[in-house]
Amino acid sequence: MAEEQNEQSLVSKPLGWLANVRHFWHEIALEMKKVSWPTRTEVINTTIITIIVVFFFAFFLFLSDIGLSYLIQGIEWGAKKIFG
- Is the pLDDT at 63 greater than 70? The verdict is yes
Q: 23: which residues sit within 8 A by CB, 6+ positions away?
A: 15
Phi, psi of 12 (to 5 degrees): -100, 160
Q: How confident is the model over 18-41, as pLDDT tens digits?
A: 888 999 999 999 999 999 999 999
pTM of the model: 0.57
| Residue 9 burial class via C-beta count within 10 angstroms: exposed 0-12, middle 13-18, buried 19 and up | exposed
- Identify the three-state secondary structure at position 51: helix
**What are the sequence ranges of the domains in the chain?**
2-83
Q: 46: which residues sit within 8 A by CB, 6+ positions away?
A: 38
- Identify the three-state secondary structure at position 57: helix
